[in-house]
Amino acid sequence: MFKVLSFLLVVLFAPCVAWAQDETPQPFVVVLDLPSGETDALVSGLKGLDGVRVEGQTWFLEEVQARGITPRRILRRPKDMRWVMRGANITYVLFLEPKEGGFTANFVGETGETEEKMDFEGEKVGDEGLAKLVEKTKTLLKLDEKPKVAPVETLDEEEEIAPVVVKPPVVSGGKWLDIGIGFRLLKRDLVVGGKNGGVLTYPSQFYPGGQLSVEGYPGDADEAVGFTLRGLVGLGSVSSGGVASGVLHADVEGGVSYRVRSQLGNPESGRKMEAKLRGGPRFTMFSTDAPALPATSLVALSVGGAVTLPVLADEFKFKGSVDLTPFGLWLEGKEQFGESAFTYGVSTSLGGVYAATSSIEIAFDYWLRVDRTAFSGPGALGFDGAETFEMVQGLYVGANLKL
């Protein structure tokens, strides 16, 4: 009976023992960008170690985001580091920390905490220092020793958070096209005054509108030339003398845009500021059935800039813009107010975006545009030397899709 039980135990557990003996994880080192600019040299040296896998900062940040973790200051959060490292089977994360007169190299182990440190003096680590880092990595990985059976570690309930199956990485790079769609609540106020004393005011109620925007920078480089296009349509009403009339509002603008992005803060944070310069034509049309306010349309040149800045959390960004209209050409309605016209104006917006995922953002803003037009000569509505003040404003909420 004893021999039978022994035979069954051997049959049942022999495959498990054989599997455990073969299960020797490949040494895996991640190197974050060195502030001394010697990242490529260090990675090249580590790749020379037999059987060692080496990855860089971009790969690591994608793994962090794939697990729903904010990259900012993750090196100071051992629990999150442990989750990422165990989930991706990373043996060590190596990074350099600036100090007075030099650098401190940190080897973060699977516990998520720094296990070893090395100090270097000067602005560069140098060839000798890089060789020491490679040799230290070799020692920590115990490459000179025979492979051992990987220990089976039991996690307590609190630590049992690293998934065995790695999620597909959330890739934030390479997305060069932004498509935005949303709702804008609009209001238009128009005041017309003439030298002969004639005055008309047309304040509108708040009315709904839809907005679609497309912006692209082929190649997604930090310095890139691209295009921008925005279309807006609103349906509302205006009132004059107690009489309300329907109005159709259309706004289309686009052109060329030059974008520059720059790194903010620690390299591992992945946070970047973005600035844009842009210019192109703008078409604006208002059509109403009010007898005293005929349809008007205008084509103008718009030039300006915008800035995007990460604030508070990494997922939230502040956005602001200013655009100038140095001149405009009336296509329809000019003869109602005068014989010739000169138009100029300014517009601005303030808002933000929240990155729900690497591909979807929730956007919101407040937008204000003011146009002034000086007419000369008499107009069909009885004005002489008229001047108009037009203010259009709106609140926007929508979503951006990054492709």
Hey, what CATH topology would domain 177-402 get? Answer: Lipocalin (2.40.128)
Confidence of residue 148 (pLDDT cuts 50, 70, 90): very low
The mean pLDDT value of the chain amounts to: 82
Neighbour count for residue 32 (Cβ, 10 Å): 20
One-letter amino acid of 219 = G
Q: Measuring CA to CA, which residue among 373, 376, 378, 375 is closest to residue 390?
A: 373
301, 328 contact by CB (below 8 A):
yes
Quote the CA–CA distance of 171 and 350 in Å, as a whole number. 28
Helical segments of 241-312, H only? none
279, 303 contact by CB (below 8 A):
yes
| Residue spans of beta strands (DSSP E) within 100-222 | 102-108, 114-121, 177-193, 199-203, 207-216
Domain layout of the chain by residue ranges: 25-171, 177-402
Average pLDDT over residues 239-258: 84
pLDDT tens digits, one per residue of 83-130: 888 888 899 999 988 888 888 999 999 888 898 999 988 888 888 888
Which pTM was predicted?
A: 0.59
Q: What percent of the chain clears pLDDT 90, i.e. is strictly above it? A: 38
Hey, what CATH topology would domain 25-171 get? Answer: Rossmann fold (3.40.50)
Q: Which two tokens stand for residue 67?
A: 């697990």
